[in-house]
Amino acid sequence: MNRSSKMKARRRRTLFFAVVIIAVLIVGFLVTKYEDTTAQAPEGTVAPPKATDAAAPAETDKPGEAGKPSNGSGGERAVIAQPESIAVLVNKQNMLPDDYKPSDLVYPDVPFLFKDKIDKRKMRSEAAGALEEMFDGAKADGIRLAGVSAYRSHTTQKSLFDGYVKKDGLEKAMTYSAYPGTSEHETGLAIDVSGSDGKCAATDCFAGTPEAEWLAGHAAEYGFIIRYPQGQESITGYKYEPWHLRYVGKEIASDIASRGITLEEYFDAVPVNN
């Protein structure tokens, strides 16, 4: 073989080895890319939420419990999962949904201290029927009752509460008025009651009147309780209100009255002021 032929053969071998090396490099790159792809999460899986993601409030079947948003004053309130329950526990720890409005509000056929047919004369149907029976029972015993205020919308309660805060400050207002969403009046199951003459209506002097004494002794027979009993402020969060009645049904009302307890204690709930 002459010198020219040897040089050509050498160039062909060099080119061959170069092609082989390039091919190996390409194959290695493709294998690495494939492995990276298969290491990713399979389609259809969900990545874990970020630390800043907020979970939706959980709901429970209990009348007064669900998720717990901040109440804006350092504590928490549970948003009630079943606001339509007759036995619903509404207090400073358990609030109604902002958009809740009872679907069965009616005008009970009982006297009120005013003539207008407005919202605060309404109650839920079952409670209204029981109220009519109670007023009839009181009348038969020589006691004449009158309604002062029943249902309030969330908007009305907010307006009232804001006014009380402006007048007396937040701390004092919280002892006698409910933060919007935590008022029993928003349930349509509560009513403030007085004598038919309107004296001492929704004020401390109502305590000890014949009307207050009759209600304390007979309200439970019709499914109502004195919601904020005397001496139970540390449990209910409110001062004594002998005029504030709450409908819970005869069975629960009878049990609460016979045991001398509050609605919080009936449900074994944590005292409001703890």
Per-residue 3-state assignment (H helix, E strand, C coil) for 233-253: HHHHCCCCEEEEEEECCHHHH
How many domains are contained in the chain? Answer: 1
Whether residue 182 is contained in a domain is answered as yes
Contact 180, 161 (CB under 8 A): yes
Active site (catalytic) residues: 241
Whether residue 10 is contained in a domain is answered as no
**Residue indicated by tokens 């990276």:** 36
pTM exceeds 0.75 for this model: no
Task: Give the β-pairing of 190-195 and 145-149.
Answer: antiparallel
Please enumerate in sequence order all residues whose Cβ is within 8 A of that of 222, keeping only pairs 6 or more positions apart, or say none.
Answer: 130, 131, 133, 134, 137, 250, 253
Tokens representing residue 255 in the block: 């049990």
Please enumerate in sequence order all residues whose Cβ is within 8 A of that of 120, keeping only pairs 6 or more positions apart, or say none.
Answer: 149, 150, 151, 152, 156, 185
Task: Give the β-pairing of 241-247 and 190-195.
Answer: antiparallel
- What pLDDT is attached to residue 27? 55
- Rounded Cα distance between 169 and 166, Å, is 6
- Rounded Cα distance between 137 and 121, Å, is 20
- Rounded Cα distance between 106 and 117, Å, is 10
Measured over all CA atoms, what is the biggest interatomic distance in the chain, rounded to whole angstroms?
Answer: 140
- What pLDDT is attached to residue 37? 42
Report the 10 Å Cβ neighbour count for 38: 8
- What pLDDT is attached to residue 16? 63
Q: Is the dihedral of CA 197, 199, 204, 206 positive or negative?
A: negative
Predicted confidence (pLDDT) per residue in 175-208, tens digit: 899 999 999 999 999 999 999 999 999 999 999 9
Q: Give, as one character, the DSSP assignment of residue 70.
A: B
Whether residue 186 is contained in a domain is answered as yes
Predicted confidence (pLDDT) per residue in 241-252, tens digit: 999 999 999 999
Q: Where are the alpha helices (DSSP H) in the chain?
A: 3-38, 125-140, 154-168, 170-176, 210-218, 233-236, 250-259, 263-266
Whether residue 50 is contained in a domain is answered as no
Low pLDDT (below 50) residues in the chain: 31, 33-62, 64-74, 274
Strand order in the sheet with 224-228: 145-149, 190-195, 241-247, 224-228
Residue 161: CATH number of its domain: 3.30.1380.10
Whether residue 116 is contained in a domain is answered as yes
- Rounded Cα distance between 195 and 220, Å, is 18
Domain range for 236 is 97-266
- What pLDDT is attached to residue 13? 67
